């Protein structure tokens, strides 16, 4: 089948061992130490994967991650070996044939043993944290200051870990003490400190672009060497809530920079109960969402997606 450079990818089917297919990423084994993580153009809303791919979404997720990791490299070790397709093909010539499917959306990464806690940092109260707080003034069962309003800034930001949910289930917020019980005080403390540092860095950089980084979810893994590495996607629109500063209003939910057209359209349907299967999205909604993802990239980095050249990482420098 002919594929242009930019044919959207709903599902990649590479000739490699597929280890995991998540809501967005297809994760393949390259060898015992290396994975190829392919960000598809799948999109989910209300936790349901939608039938249509969103052109350029996978590319945005992968290249935003590369853009941040280049800046964060001095602070923390990360899993990225290469994003530049030429570097990936140099290392793994077998991948040349399928290049059109994966280029600019795939990350070649160091394989780790993922830490089984999602490291969320919240600088504003929204989402599941707001839901719980609105009911009883707590987050993961622990009291927060009284009188917070929806979308209010949390100062200082809160390390708000969650368990990694199994497929089809929701992550569950847990306390820091529960992380200590699971992982020990030393690792728990390092995760909290690193997560806070990365969030603060991301908040400051996004802030210069008039984007509020409301919260973000980070993942860490342990390399065979024992080194703790930042893994997965980093400070992307899928792992973070980015709010345009100009439309921020305290006391209500905020529009999302990227998924809002999809959510609004789905919300307007009378006969869909937000369980699978999801309805087909009209072309106009798909195109609007695609533009939004590309706009997030441009607004955040100051570079248009098509002009961005990913850096060479680590040993490839």
Judged by the rule CB under 6 A, the positions of this chain that interact with ligand ATP are: 20, 22-25, 27, 35, 79, 109-112, 114, 219, 221, 231-232
Q: How far apart are CA 136 and CA 134, in angstroms?
A: 6
3-state helix, strand, coil in the chain (%, to 5): 35, 25, 40
How many whole angstroms separate alpha carbon 87 and alpha carbon 314? Answer: 12
Q: In degrees rounded to 5, what are phi and psi of residue 206?
A: -65, -40
Residues in the chain: 317
Considering only the C-alpha atoms of the chain, give the largest distance between any 2 of them, rounded to a whole number of Å.
Answer: 59
Q: Minimum distance from CB of 37 to ligand ATP (Å)?
A: 6
Nearest of 230, 140, 233, 223 to residue 193 by alpha carbon: 230
Nearer to ligand ATP, 236 or 294 (CB): 236
* Three-state secondary-structure class, residue 18: strand
Shortest Cβ 307–ligand ATP spacing (Å) = 27
Cβ at position 246, least distance to ligand ATP in Å: 29
Q: How far is the CB of 144 from ligand ATP (least distance, A)?
A: 26
Q: Quick one: 52 or 112, whose CB is closer to ligand ATP? A: 112
Residue 24 or 211 having the CB closest to ligand ATP: 24
- For ligand ATP, the nearest residue by Cβ is 22
Spatial distance between the Cα atoms of 96 and 6, rounded to a whole number of angstroms: 16
**Residue 220 CB, nearest distance to ligand ATP (Å)?**
9
Question: Are 43 and 54 within 8 A, CB to CB?
Answer: yes
Nearer to ligand ATP, 35 or 198 (CB): 35
Least separation, in Å, of the C-beta of 126 and ligand ATP?
18
C-alpha to C-alpha distance for 266 and 280, rounded to whole angstroms: 10
For ligand ATP, give the closer residue by CB, 133 or 293: 293
26 versus 84: smaller Cβ distance to ligand ATP = 26
> Bridge partners of 118?
162
């Amino acid at each position: 089948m002919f594929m242009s450079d930019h044919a959207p990818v709903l599902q990649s089917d590479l000739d490699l061992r597929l280890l995991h297919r998540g809501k967005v990423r297809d994760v393949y084994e390259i060898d015992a130490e290396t994975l190829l993580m392919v960000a598809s153009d799948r999109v989910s809303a209300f936790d349901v994967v939608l039938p249509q791919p969103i052109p350029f979404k996978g590319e945005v997720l992968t290249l935003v991650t590369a853009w941040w990791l280049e800046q964060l490299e001095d602070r923390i070790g990360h899993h990225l070996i290469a994003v530049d397709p030429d570097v990936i093909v140099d290392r793994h010539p077998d991948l040349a044939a399928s290049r059109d499917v994966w280029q600019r959306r795939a990350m070649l990464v160091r394989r780790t043993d993922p830490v089984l806690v999602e490291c969320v940092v919240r600088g504003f109260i929204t989402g599941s944290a707001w839901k719980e707080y609105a009911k009883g003034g707590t987050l993961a069962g622990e009291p927060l200051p009284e009188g917070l309003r929806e979308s209010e800034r949390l100062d200082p930001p809160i390390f708000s870990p969650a368990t990694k949910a199994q497929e089809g289930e929701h992550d569950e917020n847990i306390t820091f003490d529960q992380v200590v019980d699971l992982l020990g005080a030393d690792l728990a403390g390092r995760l909290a400190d690193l997560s806070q540092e990365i969030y603060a860095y991301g908040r400051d950089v996004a802030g210069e672009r008039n984007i509020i980084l409301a919260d973000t979810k980070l993942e860490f893994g342990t390399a065979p060497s024992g080194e703790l590495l930042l893994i997965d996607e980093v400070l992307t629109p899928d792992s973070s809530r980015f709010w345009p500063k100009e439309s921020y209003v305290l006391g209500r939910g905020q529009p999302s920079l990227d998924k809002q057209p999809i959510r609004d359209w789905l919300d307007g349907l009378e006969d869909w109960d937000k369980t699978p299967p999801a309805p087909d999205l009209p072309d106009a909604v798909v195109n609007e969402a695609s533009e939004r993802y590309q706009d997030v990239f441009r607004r955040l980095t100051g570079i248009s997606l098509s002009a961005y050249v990913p850096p060479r990482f680590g040993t490839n420098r």
